Amino acid sequence: MEITIALALSILGSVISVSNFALTRKDKAVKDAKETNFELINFRLNELDRNVQKILDKLDGYEKEIDVQIEKAIEHHIKEYHRKV
């Protein structure tokens, strides 16, 4: 009888140890996954911000370019069609 009680306590202790280890690892894995996901989200948001800034810079450049072309076209129109005789 004494051997079976000792054996039962040993098995119970082993089960508790293994389950405690597994639960602790799971918590750490979930925590690490959350941190990694936040880092990934922040990285992607930063990349999107950079891309938007590039697009806005290009649009500003196109706007200036179009303004210059309009000015040239107006000057050409005035010279061509509004000459004083």
Average pLDDT, 10 consecutive residues per value, the chain (85 residues): 78 89 77 76 92 91 88 90 72
The token duo for 67 is 């303004």
Which 3 state secondary structure label does DSSP give 82? coil
Whole-angstrom distance, CA of residue 53 vs CA of residue 55:
5
Whole-angstrom distance, CA of residue 32 vs CA of residue 22:
15
The token duo for 46 is 């930063």
The token duo for 64 is 């200036």
Answer whether 0.75 is exceeded by the pTM. Answer: no
Return the pLDDT at 53: 94
Side-chain half-sphere of 66: how many Cα atoms within 13 Å? 6
